[in-house]
Structure 1
Amino acid sequence: MSISRRDLLKLTGVAGAAAVFPALVRAQGIEKKEVQIAVGGQALIYYLPLTIAELKGYFKDEGLTAKVIDFAGGSKALQAVVGGSADVVSGAFEHTIILQSKGQFYRTFVQQGRAPMIVLGVSTKTMAHYKTPADLKGKKIGVTAPGSSTNMMASFFLAKHGLKPADVSFIGVGAGAGAITALRTGQIDAIANLDPVISTLVHTKELKVIADTRTLKDTQEIFGGNMPSGCLYTSQAFIDKNPNTVQAMANAMVRADKWIQAASFDDIAKTVPKGYLLGDPDLYKLALQGNKEALSPDGMVPADGPETALKAQAAYIPNFPISKIDVSKIWTNDFVIKANKKYPHA
């Protein structure tokens, strides 16, 4: 027998309905219950909070049906949202800055990572005699996708050492087994990628790390301050139209952030899809250990982070309109503050 919401309220009263069917009543205020989240390389530890929120049913608990659409890199995920085939991006914070420089206003509303977790390394086979960043000139550097955060980090590193992005060739290799194969077979000489890809190549001594942003200390040394990384962001128009939907997503993600902090590496490895482990659960757990500090404990964007990200963009993009960027419009902690009140503990 089906029962309408009106009949339900008549029978039980509003308070009674809330007690008997909390999910139904909670969902009433959500403007858009079905959301598409575009991500570039979901198997990466960088996006672990999104995976946990999805697999543990946290979106569903908030009254949402969330469909995660996986792409080769963050720039591809961004294109999906700008093009209208997805609602929200799970991607790198700095994309919001690039978008604003083009007159498009997108805002981060919950953090997944508080350090980029991106590692730049050279092949021990094709660049066995690497000594300084100048040796990268004329080489092929693999990134998840052109224009992605891995591309940005490598470009920033080059600029810091007197090289231009045009001095190398950037090649999209994805964020999984294909990236590993590209380095092993000599298709690329260096790679900017994340774990578990990096740990796999370091473990087999096929990669020499030359820049690492998996810890807060190294990140602050490279970028000069806190550098926000993985986040959920969407257009300001979507936030204005669907504030309760955005709050529900922030709730789910903060809950996932906190579950990860409380969970053991064994628990996490058992929860993620088997394919994420790249055939070596122990190596995946080692990679988790190396990235744990970089994963956000509470979804909050650090106050100095947006300015650090802006300076990083200006450091390697010629004629970047830094004075025209209003960083206050690319992020907010308002939704996360409410989410932490709802979920103070894991």
Structure 2
Amino acid sequence: MRRSREGKDVMTTLLRRIVAVAVLLAVLVSGGAPASRAAEKVTVGVGGVALMVYLPTALAKAKGYFAEEGLDVEILDIKGGGSQAASALIGGSVDFSANAIDHAIKARTRGKDLIAVHSHVRLPVMGLVVANKYKGEIKSIADLKGRPLGVTSPGSQTHMVLGYLLVKSGVKADEVKIVGAGGNTMPLALEKDSVHAGMMVDPFFTVFLKQGKGYALVDMFTTKGTVEAMGGEVQGTTLLTRPDVIARRPATVQKMVNALVRANKLIVGSSGEELAKALPRELSGDPKLYAESFEHAREAFPADSLVSREGVARVIETMRVFDVVPAGTKIDPESLFDNRYVLKALGR
């Protein structure tokens, strides 16, 4: 009887071990192993994450799109605006940066290469706003001569576009004072009279005008407004990276773009109210005002996420106006972007 019981105990133990092994194998086959694998760390530099032009990056993070691609994305809100974010990318402090394409153009003139792999917005998404106290004095861009004018940061796209508008209206660069007033602090600079007019982005543009504190000389949140001011399409904010990142981590680049393409599709198909709810409160602020700001800028977000060759070419020509791109320097627009990752994400 004792041997019989011992035999049963041995069989029971063996059966339990067999079941445990079978369960373990089932977990491994069903994908349990990848779940324990650490997500790949990625850093993205942004010069003011609450600005509307960075919505695709902020939304992809908030909705978990990066995480679903196996990425642990850290968004670094870099002081000093887009210029400093681009400098961080060039210097290797971050893997990617959300920046206007003009930063890739400037880098090229200095012998550095930055490549755009995703289009956040395909318009400038900015406007030239004047403080209300100057309503009787400033009626055109020509009236800005001799005045302090705000840009988000010196060398940023807001600076490049403002410079182009000034030259187009007969105002020379040395006839105005350019002040780096920040993106989210531009309204305060106008209210304190630190600048008389400034290049403002959403959500601050819409809020400032709605509050009756200023008026717009130029509105480039729509295709119509952009064509009137700039003569055609202008490529706006993109996801930039370095050639060495593309060479060493092509799968990572694809995963980043996959997430951002999803974000752009969600943006195009959502209302402003829905997007405000999807973002952390520290980014959306007042949900109602954020929703209104988005609707004002809606047209700028491309459903296909593709970088526009025409838009890049126009930015290059805009930058020639005040010699950021020296006369005689040839830059092929297509050398500044790579749409292959977006096309793959779109299944094309």
Alignment equivalent of 2:267, drawn from 253, 260, 283: 260
Once the two structures are superposed, the pairs formed by residues 279-290 of structure 1 within 5 Å of their partners are: 280-290=286-296
- Of 224-233 and 249-258, more deviation after overlay is shown by 224-233
- Matched residue of 2:232: which SS? coil
The CA RMSD over aligned residues, in Å, is 2.4
- Matched residue of 2:321: which SS? helix
- Matched residue of 2:309: which SS? coil
Alignment equivalent of 1:91, drawn from 96, 99, 104: 99
| Ranges in structure 1 where 5+ consecutive residues have no aligned partner | 1-6
Alignment equivalent of 1:307, drawn from 299, 302, 313: 313
1:23 Cα shift?
A: 5.6
Deviations, residues 65-122 of structure 1 (Å, cap 9, x unaligned): 1100012411011111122211111010121111111111111001100111011121
Partner of 1:38: 45
1:249 Cα shift?
A: 0.4
Distance 1:259 1:322, change over 3 A: farther
Partner of 1:296: 302
Q: Tell whether the 8 Å contact from 2:90 to 2:114 is kept in structure 1 after alignment.
A: no
Partner of 1:239: 246
AA matched with 1:306:
V
Alignment equivalent of 2:31, drawn from 7, 20, 33: 20
Once the two structures are superposed, the pairs formed by residues 98-137 of structure 1 within 5 Å of their partners are: 98-126=106-134, 128-137=136-145
TM-score by length of 1: 0.87
Once the two structures are superposed, the pairs formed by residues 198-213 of structure 1 within 5 Å of their partners are: 198-213=205-220
Partner of 2:5: none
Partner of 2:335: 329
AA matched with 2:269:
A
- Alpha-carbon distance between aligned partners in 1 of 2:214 and 2:71, rounded to the nearest angstrom: 42
TM-score by length of 2: 0.87
Once the two structures are superposed, the pairs formed by residues 140-151 of structure 1 within 5 Å of their partners are: 140-151=148-159
Partner of 1:181: 188
- Alpha-carbon distance between aligned partners in 2 of 1:259 and 1:138, rounded to the nearest angstrom: 44
AA matched with 2:295:
Q
- Alpha-carbon distance between aligned partners in 2 of 1:237 and 1:144, rounded to the nearest angstrom: 29
1:48 Cα shift?
A: 0.6
- Alpha-carbon distance between aligned partners in 2 of 1:85 and 1:139, rounded to the nearest angstrom: 36
Distance 1:23 1:212, change over 3 A: farther
- Alpha-carbon distance between aligned partners in 1 of 2:137 and 2:177, rounded to the nearest angstrom: 19
- Alpha-carbon distance between aligned partners in 1 of 2:206 and 2:250, rounded to the nearest angstrom: 39
1:322 Cα shift?
A: 5.3
- Of 59-68 and 133-142, more deviation after overlay is shown by 133-142
- Of 308-317 and 193-202, more deviation after overlay is shown by 308-317
- Alpha-carbon distance between aligned partners in 1 of 2:329 and 2:34, rounded to the nearest angstrom: 46
AA matched with 2:298:
K
- Of 125-134 and 246-255, more deviation after overlay is shown by 125-134
Distance 1:149 1:319, change over 3 A: closer
- Give the fraction of aligned pairs with identical amino acids, expressed as a percent: 32
AA matched with 1:120:
L
Q: Tell whether the 8 Å contact from 2:139 to 2:217 is kept in structure 1 after alignment.
A: no
Deviations, residues 35-79 of structure 1 (Å, cap 9, x unaligned): 110011110111111110011111111111110001241101111
| Ranges in structure 2 where 5+ consecutive residues have no aligned partner | 1-20
- Alpha-carbon distance between aligned partners in 2 of 1:228 and 1:55, rounded to the nearest angstrom: 25
Q: Tell whether the 8 Å contact from 1:145 to 1:151 is kept in structure 2 after alignment.
A: yes
Q: Tell whether the 8 Å contact from 1:145 to 1:172 is kept in structure 2 after alignment.
A: yes
- Matched residue of 2:133: which SS? coil
- Alpha-carbon distance between aligned partners in 1 of 2:113 and 2:201, rounded to the nearest angstrom: 28
Q: Tell whether the 8 Å contact from 1:105 to 1:329 is kept in structure 2 after alignment.
A: no
AA matched with 1:112:
H
Distance 1:92 1:22, change over 3 A: farther
Larger radius of gyration: 2
Deviations, residues 120-157 of structure 1 (Å, cap 9, x unaligned): 12111145421222211121111111111111111111
- Alpha-carbon distance between aligned partners in 1 of 2:325 and 2:239, rounded to the nearest angstrom: 28
1:256 Cα shift?
A: 0.4
- Matched residue of 2:338: which SS? coil
- Alpha-carbon distance between aligned partners in 2 of 1:318 and 1:69, rounded to the nearest angstrom: 27
1:166 Cα shift?
A: 2.3
Deviations, residues 258-277 of structure 1 (Å, cap 9, x unaligned): 11112222111112222334
Is 1:248 the equivalent of 2:255?
A: yes
Partner of 2:178: 170
Distance 1:37 1:134, change over 3 A: same
- Alpha-carbon distance between aligned partners in 2 of 1:171 and 1:246, rounded to the nearest angstrom: 35
AA matched with 2:44:
I
Q: Tell whether the 8 Å contact from 1:164 to 1:316 is kept in structure 2 after alignment.
A: no
Q: Tell whether the 8 Å contact from 1:118 to 1:153 is kept in structure 2 after alignment.
A: no
